[in-house]
Structure 1
Amino acid sequence: MTSQDKVESSFWHRLLDTRLTRRTAIGSAAATAAAVTLPLNIAEAQANNGGPSTVDARKVKPQTVAPFRPVPVTGADALTLPAGYRYQVLAPWGEKFTNDGREIGFNHDYVGYFPIDMLQGGQSSTDALLTINHEYVNALFVGGNTKERTPAQVRAEMEAVGVSVVRVRKEGGAWKVVPDARNRRIDALTDIELTGPVRGTAPVKGATMVKGSVGNCSGGQTPWGTLLTCEENVDGYTKAWAGSGYEAMHQGWVTEIDPFDPAWTPKKRTGMGRFRHENVAITVAADGRVVGYMGDDMQDACVYKFVSRGRYNPADRAANLKLLEDGDLYVANFGNGSWVLLDYDRNKKLQEAKGADGKALFASQADVLADARASALAVGGTPVDRPEDIEIHPRTGEVYVALTNNSKHGNYFGQIIKFREAKDDWTATTFLWEVFAVGGPQSGFASPDNLVFDPYGNLWMVTDNSDLGSNPIKDFHGNNAMFFFATEGPNAGKAQRFAIGPVDAEMTGPVWSPDGKTLFLAIQHPGEDSESLDKLRSNFAAKPGTNVPRPTLVAIEGFPGWKA
């Protein structure tokens, strides 16, 4: 029995019937006041999607005015930026970048920034290893066959997904991809190790090693310098890649990759559960345990938290590389502001859960984790409206969640919520929450997706209204866009449009260089709704001499940089 079969009410249908009291909603004034006296562990929360920053968030003043003049709505096939800002195309699909001739993958999504000198304590803003997720392929562009795929096309698609590790350097005022032995591809054919409670068990057919990482949507970075790439829409490949040996149950996990060590085998962290992973926001609690917040990106799915049992040691990277093997997984209940443990031995509801046929849904912790969505709903996790990105405010420690939309229940525009853990402890089992911003014509945005905080504590958000198709309710919005939100002061929660993407494209995976002067942003699936190669809707980032649009990374500059 799937979670979808068991869900009949949405986030708002369930929650708006619950009377919100001071115990279930944060007062904005109280939250702002509390931020002034945050304990050290909260104040050290990282901005930049877990990436490094040369700015101490505790020593900068909140910025309440956008550093640009907002751009008007447009449907142009271009990346539109405010006056004074510029971009360059970097690492587009199909470019060779490894010593063995591998190409950059398709449909760029999450981007991780790892300073080249990070393991030596450095924070270079001009030289780095970037990790780029490649979420899925468009069969029209990869192989040109949208009907029955040939074995050669399946192979090409399997090699075009996954992750690219790319060294980039700023030279002569421009960013360039540069040769490096660490440049490489992790794709659907790469050997990856399963770790944690599901390793070697029945749900994964006894596997300890599996092939590939697919559906790589968003992700996160760890303090010890690894990428966490999140596997989202993995079930659809079963039919498309029939005969290739693809196993859907081997996908749908959080996979850890060390960008600095090509010899280190990537690890699927099964303790963090199997679902449509959109992202993971990593932080370190006051007691040293590592906490990861995650969303299950589908309608009527849940928000999760993983808490490691081991503790982070900045001086022992080898030990840190094992931290995500073991821990506790929780699901959020927004009705009473609690985290519910998903542990078969310690939660009787999981032992007693039965399907429509009267049979037990779970017999072990491996079963619970392998279908975390069904487990979450069985214990009272709150189904919400497509929880996509989750990020942690660098000044307040509050956790922000982008709820993209839910067309099944009329929530076409989505919203951003935020919550604060009890006693400002990320390992707490209770929290308080409130709505930060609501999408719609009155606010100017719809379908919030990826989030990133700058060191001031400003929130930047990109949208994804692709699933609404030609629905006229999104006409006010134009192409997918990127917005700026102040999180403190009189303009808190008000959206200001910074950038607009090309036709049919999403902008994804925003991440800053540590000095805040370059914003790396992925342009995903431009021209995706094209009928054929003769009727292309976009030509964005096309290779010279061709008209075919290409997913790509862009480097945006013109920012003033962060000042204490």
Structure 2
Amino acid sequence: MSHSPEQTPEKRSFWHQLLDTRISRRSAITTAAATAAAASLPVSFAQAQQSGVTTANNGAPIGVTPRENARTYPPFRPIEPTRADDLTLPPGFRYQILAPWGEEFTQDGRTIGFNHDFIGYFPADMLEGGHSSTDAYLTINHEYVNSLFLGTEERTPANIEKEKRAMGVSVVRVRQQGGEWKVVKDAKNRAVDGLYDIELTGPVRGTDAVKGATMVKGTVGNCSGGQTPWGTLLTCEENVDGYVKAWEGSGYEAMHQGWVTEIDPFDPAWTPKKRTGMGRFRHENVAPGRTADGRFVGYMGDDMQDSCVYKFVSRQPISGDRAADRNLLEDGDLYVANFGNGTWVLLDYDKNKKLQDAKKDDKPLFSSQAEVLADARAAALAVGGTPVDRPEDIEIHPLNGDVYIALTNNSKHGNYFGHIVRLTEEGSDHAATSFKWDVFAYGGPSAGFASPDNLVFDPYGNLWMVTDNSDLGTNPIKDFHGNNAMFFMPTEGPNAGKAYRFAVGPVEAEMTGPTWSPDGKTLFVSIQHPGEDSESLDKLTSNFAAKPGSRIPRPTLVAIQGFPGWKA
């Protein structure tokens, strides 16, 4: 989610060059998708609680009902591309800077981390059965740092610690007062950063694959994520391997990172857990759902060129007992997608002979399930998982259960614009081991977008998508695009797959982690790495969200308002 590989290493800082290894992906796919079950609604408060709703007739042709309009036409006037150093929105919409990097947010003086990404919205009254749209704990992922802006270019122990403190997840209470959102210094606010104590759980815990560790330090490379039905965050550790070089001599262990980490925003006393059963790779996100028999399912992508799509299915059903469900992800089955024959292949060492027979240089690749999970990418390819074009965000359609996969791009195979794939499980069951799929939308000049990244649905089943292009302004084939942008895409009707531009981000920034408030009146979005190609503090390319008296741009969360909300 940070950037694509088409950048010039010579002009970039050490951190930029390190993160350029995050590369792209490869293409696959063509067939038809059938319907899927509404029982598999994604776990998003704005979506799971609001189905069968309608909205105002936003300029649709005469004869189109409000219900049809809500699902096939944009609720705004689409805007043109721009290269302005601002967040550009349609008429009638406004944004507010909220929780920018460096802002103090805890009672003990901690500050918000760097390069915001996934945003989890947890209503403050959720544990009492509520779904407040004006009071919430937001969890904000912090993917990586810019050493120029952070002042940590010299590789000293103090600077390395500062970088670790700027990553991880900020748990931040926010409240809307008089139409404005404000950070509240709540006692539960905290930074689960790169030095936080976290427990390893599942098959890899205590094994040689993690050097016997049961407790590890920190979560880093926090890209996208997901929210569980029991109200916890699943934060995904993506570009972690390169930090070994960046933090050489600091005690950093790469094998302790690259997992899905579960955090309870409501309970600071609950130790975060790394769920090793979900595999180790460059995790982009977890798209949570339910199987027909009530078990948890999480769809995941390995954000790298020629890497795979996975799903994890818990062995036990979701019980509704929050204390018990917080242990649900310790046990489960991990599968990889084979798009060539539409099957999910089980990554289980004891049950899959291909894993037992897999070799490299005449030596066995794996000798246990722990080793399979610790190198899930190698295991996936060994059993016939399909390498695709940099699978980033995956989301589940709230009305029919179809699975949408953003394949961002892959310069290795000439896929410079990316596409979005739609997958339908057999029998409308997320536990199925076979599926159908097709391409929902291709990027390119005729589509108006390139490099789809994060996705989020509204309750009507419309897809909202943000882009991840690092070469805008330098690659002539993308001159049509302007800055990275957000698009509205109907998933049915005559406009299905058509992209309508809703927002354009600042210079050299991505918009990431879009998340709705439950009433649909606020859209929270992260503004990540504005001005990241700046050569020096004297040659800044952006000043977005800079502090008063400073010109240094700041990553930040923004709250976009002007939406009418969901209508019953």
Q: Is the 8 A contact 2:46 2:519 kept in 1?
A: no
1:469–1:207 Cα change, 3 Å = farther
Amino acid at match of 2:288: I
Q: In structure 2, do the counterparts of structure 1 residues 174 and 470 end up closer, same or farther at CA, with 3 Å as the change threshold?
A: same
Match of residue 415 from structure 1: 419
Q: Which residue of 2 aligns with 1:313?
A: 319
Q: Is the 8 A contact 1:43 1:58 kept in 2?
A: no
Letter of the 1:187 partner, please give it: D
Distance 1:502 1:155 in 2: 29
Pairs within 5 Å for 1:124-135: 124-135=132-143
SS of residue matched to 2:72:
coil
The ranges of structure 1 where at least 4 consecutive aligned residues each deviate by more than 4 angstroms after the TM superposition are 52-55
Give the counterpart letter for 1:56 in structure 2: Q
Question: After superposition, what is the alpha-carbon deviation per residue over 1:335-363, rounded to whole angstroms, capped at 9, x for unaligned?
Answer: 000000000000000000011x1100000
Alignment correspondent of 2:51: 57
Q: 1:448 aligns with which of 438, 447, 452?
A: 452
Tell me which residue corresponds to 2:481.
Answer: 477
8 Å Cα contact 2:465/2:487 also seen in 1? yes
Q: Identify the match of residue 384 of structure 2 among 355, 380, 385.
A: 380
Which amino acid letter does the alignment assign opposite residue 524 of structure 1? Q
Q: TM-score, normalised by structure 2?
A: 0.92
**Counterpart position of 2:87:** 79
TM-fit CA distance, 1:53: 4.2
Deviation at 1:244, TM superposition (A): 1.1
Aligned residues: 531
1:354 is the counterpart of 2:349: no
Deviation digits for residues 275-296 of structure 1 (CA, Å, limit 9, x no counterpart): 0000001112221110000000
Q: Distance in 2 between matches of 1:54 and 1:350?
A: 38
* Cα displacement string for residues 186-227 of structure 1 (whole angstroms, at most 9, x for unaligned residues): 111000000000000011000000000000000000010000
Instruction: Indicate the residue corresponding to 2:17 in structure 1.
Output: none
Partner of 2:222: 216
Q: Is 1:505 aligned with 2:509? A: yes
Distance 1:532 1:517 in 2: 39
Equivalent pairs: percent with the same residue? 75
- 8 Å Cα contact 1:51/1:112 also seen in 2: no
| Aligned residues of 1:44 and 1:58 also touching (Cα < 8 A) | no
Residue 348 of structure 2 is aligned to residue 324 of structure 1: no
Between the aligned partners of 2:299 and 2:212, the Cα distance in structure 1 is 28
Q: Does 1:364 find its partner at 2:368?
A: yes
Structure 1: segments with no counterpart, 5+ residues: 1-8
SS in 1 for 2:354: helix
Q: 1:179 Cα deviation (Å)?
A: 1.7
Once the two structures are TM-superposed, the CA of residue 46 in structure 1 deviates from its matched residue by 3.4
What residue is the counterpart of 1:207 in the other structure? 213
- Give the superposition deviation at 1:320: 0.3
Contact 2:26–2:305 at 8 Å: present in 1 too? no
Q: Indicate conservation of the 8 Å contact 2:85/2:542, yes or no.
A: yes
Task: Please name the residue that 2:3 is paired with.
Answer: none
1:106 matched to 2:114? The reply is: yes
The Cα offsets for residues 389-410 of structure 1, whole Å up to 9 and x where unpaired, read as 0000001100000000001111
441-450 or 284-293, which moves further after superposition?
A: 284-293
Seen in structure 2, the aligned counterparts of structure 1 residues 144 and 10 have a Cα distance that, compared at 3 Å, is closer
Q: TM-score, normalised by structure 1?
A: 0.92
Residue number in structure 2 paired with 1:300? 306
Q: Match for 2:157 among 140, 144, 151?
A: 151
Shift of 1:111: 0.1
Mapped to 1, the partners of 2:367 and 2:315 lie a distance apart of 23
**Residues 41 and 290 of structure 2 are in contact (CA less than 8 Å); yes or no, is this contact kept in structure 1?**
no
Q: Deviations over 1:170-191 (max 9, x none)?
A: 0111000012110000111000
Decide whether aligned partners of structure 1 residues 467 and 380 sit closer, same or farther in structure 2, where only a CA change above 3 A counts: farther
Contact 1:125-1:513 at 8 Å conserved across structures? yes
Q: CA deviation at 1:243?
A: 1.4
Give the secondary structure class of the aligned counterpart of 2:392: strand
Give the distance between the partners of 1:469 and 1:226, measured in 2 at CA. 39
Residue equivalent to 2:538: 534
Report the alpha carbon displacement of residue 472 of structure 1 after superposing the two structures with TM.
1.5
The answer to whether the 8 A contact 2:226-2:285 is kept is yes
Q: What is the alpha-carbon distance in structure 1 between the residues aligned to residue 333 and residue 558 of structure 2?
A: 37
